[in-house]
Each structure stands twice: as C-alpha cells, then as structure tokens.
C-alpha cells in the first residue's frame, strides 16, 4: 500500500509539519509527524495546500521520491531541448557543428568545446537553445523506451539533393510516436542538384504538410557547410518553443536525465545530465539511475566549472559512485541515507529486470541520429 509519513509529506510541500497535522485534523485524521498516512489522504492534503498531485511510477511512489507538482506561479520559461534526426549523410553532424558556432557566449568567457552529449547556444537576443549531440543519442533511445522524452523538438534533416530516404521515414515515425513536434531542415541547399520542392512533395506522402505548402510543419532551407539559414532555423525552433510554452520551476531540487556517462581515469565517474526541473548545485546529493553521490563539481559544455545548472542546461556531474545508464533519471535528494536507500532499491530492481534486447531496433535508431 502506498503511504507517506506526515513529516515527509510536509518536507516535500515545503510546509510546516504543524500545518499538515492541522489540515489532517480538519479531515478527521489524527496523526503525529512520524505516522504514515495513505496516498489518498495525502493527495487531499496536497490539494488543500494548493499543489497539484502527480502519481509517479510504482518504484518512485514506493520510495517517495516525488509526488508534488509545481504550482503554475512557480513556473518560468526554459530553453527548448532539440534533437537532430535524419538519414545517414544528410548532414546531422555538420548541422550540429554549424549551430554550435552560433553561440555568442562562446568567445567571451573562454573555454574549449567539450563533448558532453549536449550543448547550449546563447543567441544574440539572449535566448538559449539546447542541442543533444550525443553520438547515437542513447539518452533519446533509452528515454523513448521508458515512454518519456527529453526532447522538445526534433529537427529532421533532409538533404535537398537526396530527398526522403528510409531513415528519414524512420525518424518521422519516432518523432510522431514520441509526440514531439518536428521542424524540417532542408539541407545542402548550396549543392547544384538541390531540389527542395521534391523534398516537400516527398514529405506529403508521409503526412507531413510543410508551411510553404499550406501545412503547419515548419520547413527551413539551410546549408550546414555554408552556414546558411542557421538563424532562420534557430528562430523556427524558438517559435516552436513558444507554441509549446516550455516551462520549469527553477526553485526546487533538481531533476533530469542522464545523457551519457563514462569512467574517466583522472576524474572518476563523469555523468552528463540534462537538468529538466529545478536547479542543480555543487554539493547536492544526487541519485542517478542506480548510482548516487555528492556533486563534487559541475562542468559545462566549455569545460568550465560552474556552481549551478538550471532547467534545460546540460552539465557534467563529478562525484557519483558509478556510471549511470544513459536515459536514466536523476534526482536530488535530501540526504545520503535516502540516496543510498534509493540506489540500493534500484540496484535490486535492475538485477530483476536484466533482460537481453530490451531496446529493440536500437541499431537503426542509432544510425539515424548524429
Ligand atoms: P550525418 O551522417 O547526417 O551526420 O552527415 P554529415 O554531417 O556527416 O555529412 C555527410 C556529408 O555531407 C559530409 O561529407 C558533409 O561534409 C556533407 N555535408 C553536410 N552538410 C552539407 C551542406 O550543407 N552542403 C554540402 N555541400 N555538403 C554537406
Ligand atoms: Mg553524423
């Protein structure tokens, strides 16, 4: 049965224990701080305090990681997170490289490009966009397998001289299944053989009607090689982000997903994560997948140490006990005991669930990405 102690419930709502006890008394429930109440009663209390309840996965409910949703007034706009997909050789890597150079913040504070699985560009307007650039986009694959998504927008690259190809169609299917809006980047427009209208025609057969044909899917002509149309593409992404009203509460314990991770000879466990909610701080105690640890350092996509990372920011975490799986969720918890408890629970679950070939057709998806 799902239960939660009065103390824990108060903690998670950042409410006084006395207030929670009073609210319970009003509902005819007499409880002390250490007593447990059932999930339905807890839900009533949470609503009484003006929060929205979200029941999470069985494992997380059991562990009591979360259950309280942010209120609307806590929410602030956050940058979009973008994944680039498309057929092999249509220019995904080239486009990612080209977009990276549009970061106006790159020059000023120094630092050298680091591949941490994602990077963030700051545009002249001050707006930010996060691009996933992990090879194979393991995180995208793993999250999709769990039914979650870390991507807000898919940019589908189609080479203007080659048109819609098998992996283009696969990518369309994946984006549709994940319910993620697409923007079509018609690439290689510098090539003499470029036939952008043929691309648009081809897309019709896959139920994608682009804007220039009267539909509502943005289509933008670019050349990754000549760095043409990149500003238009970024504008398009920001417009799509506006439509999606992407928001997160920065003033809470951080939550997010592991993008990739590795064991580094000098630095130990290095996990690249994407913060999705809240603000991650140096010194925080983090559980990532089945691993945990105190954040010893945070390193950004320019190799610079940072103190904090807010919503949609990719950052490396140093200090975890091991190497968490790509796509695994991470969450900041209140203390080390709690972290250990959750990590042990998950280690157990992992052993139970170790089945081969969990992510079918993963090879083809990996090829489509980067
Ligand atoms: P990916 O497999 O989708 O990551 O494709 P790449 O980025 O590796 O590009 C495949 C090839 O296309 C490379 O030789 C690139 O130099 C070339 N390419 C990529 N973008 C453009 C472009 O805009 N114009 C031209 N002419 N070539 C491009
Ligand atoms: Mg590539």
Segment 210-245, tens digit of pLDDT: 999 999 999 999 999 999 999 999 999 999 999 999
CA atoms within 13 A on the CB side of 42: 27
Between the CA of 90 and the centroid of ligand 2 the distance, in Å, is 8
b/e code 52-75 from CB counts within 10 Å (16+ = b): eeeeeeeebbebbbbbbebeeeeb
SS3 (DSSP) at 333: strand
**165/163 Cα distance (integer angstroms):** 6
Ligand 1 binding pocket includes 190 (Cβ within 6 Å): yes
Q: pTM for this structure?
A: 0.79
For residue 356, is pLDDT > 80? no
Nearest CA to ligand 1 atom 17: 91
Substitution candidate for ligand 1 out of 98, 154, 224 with most atoms within 8 A of CB: 224
The DSSP symbol for 116 reads S
Nearest CA to ligand 1 atom 9: 91
Between the CA of 256 and the centroid of ligand 1 the distance, in Å, is 32
pLDDT in tens, 87-117: 999 999 999 999 999 998 876 666 788 889 9
CA angle 164, 224, 303 (to 5 degrees): 120
Between the CA of 205 and the centroid of ligand 1 the distance, in Å, is 25
Tell whether 283 is in a known binding site: no
Confidence category of residue 366, pLDDT binned at 50, 70, 90: very low
The yes/no answer to whether this complex scores an ipTM above 0.85 is yes
Weakest-pLDDT range from 45-59, 133-147, 214-228: 133-147
**Ligand closest in space to the Cα of 91:** 1
183/55: higher pLDDT = 183
Tell whether 187 is in a known binding site: yes
| Tokens matching residue 15 | 């409410």
Confidence category of residue 140, pLDDT binned at 50, 70, 90: low
49, 61, 253, 345, 350 from 70: Cα distances, Å: 12, 17, 11, 26, 29
Ligand 1 binding pocket includes 312 (Cβ within 6 Å): no
pLDDT in tens, 235-284: 999 999 999 999 999 999 999 999 989 999 999 999 999 999 999 999 99
> Is the dihedral angle over the CA atoms 228, 233, 87, 132 positive or is it negative?
positive
Mean of the pLDDT values across residues 328-344? 89
For residue 360, is pLDDT > 50? no
């Amino acid at each position: 049965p799902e239960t939660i102690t009065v103390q824990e419930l108060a903690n998670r709502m950042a409410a006084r224990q006395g207030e929670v006890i009073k609210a319970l008394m009003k509902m005819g429930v007499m409880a002390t701080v250490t007593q447990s109440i059932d999930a339905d009663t807890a839900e009533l209390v949470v609503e009484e305090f003006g929060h929205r309840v979200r029941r999470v996965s069985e494992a997380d409910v059991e562990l009591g990681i979360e259950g309280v949703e942010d209120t609307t007034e806590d929410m602030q706009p956050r940058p979009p997170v973008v994944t680039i997909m498309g057929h092999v050789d249509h220019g995904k890597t080239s486009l990612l490289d080209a977009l990276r150079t549009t970061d106006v913040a790159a020059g000023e504070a120094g630092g050298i490009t680091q591949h941490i699985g994602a990077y963030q560009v700051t545009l002249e307007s001050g707006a930010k966009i996060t691009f996933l650039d992990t090879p194979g986009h393991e995180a995208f694959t793993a999250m999709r397998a769990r039914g979650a998504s870390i991507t807000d927008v898919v940019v589908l690259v189609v080479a203007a001289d080659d048109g819609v190809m098998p992996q283009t169609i696969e990518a369309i299917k994946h984006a549709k299944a994940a319910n993620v809006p697409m923007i079509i980047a018609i690439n290689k427009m510098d090539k003499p053989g470029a036939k952008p209208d043929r691309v648009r025609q081809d897309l019709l057969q896959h139920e994608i009607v682009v804007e220039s044909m009267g539909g509502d899917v943005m289509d933008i002509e670019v050349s990754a090689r000549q760095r043409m149309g990149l500003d238009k593409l970024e504008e398009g992404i920001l417009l799509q982000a506006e439509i999606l009203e992407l928001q997160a509460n920065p003033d809470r314990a951080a939550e997010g997903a592991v993008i990739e991770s590795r064991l580094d000879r000098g630095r130990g466990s290095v996990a690249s994560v994407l913060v999705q909610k809240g603000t991650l701080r140096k010194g925080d105690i983090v559980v990532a997948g089945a691993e945990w640890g105190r954040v010893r350092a945070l390193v950004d996509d320019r190799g610079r140490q940072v103190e904090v990372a807010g919503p949609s920011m990719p950052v490396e975490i140093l200090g975890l006990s091991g190497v968490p799986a790509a796509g695994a969720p991470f969450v900041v918890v209140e203390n080390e005991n709690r972290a250990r408890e959750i990590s042990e629970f998950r280690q157990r679950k992992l052993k139970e669930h170790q089945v081969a070939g969990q992510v079918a057709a993963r090879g083809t998806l990996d090829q489509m990405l980067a």
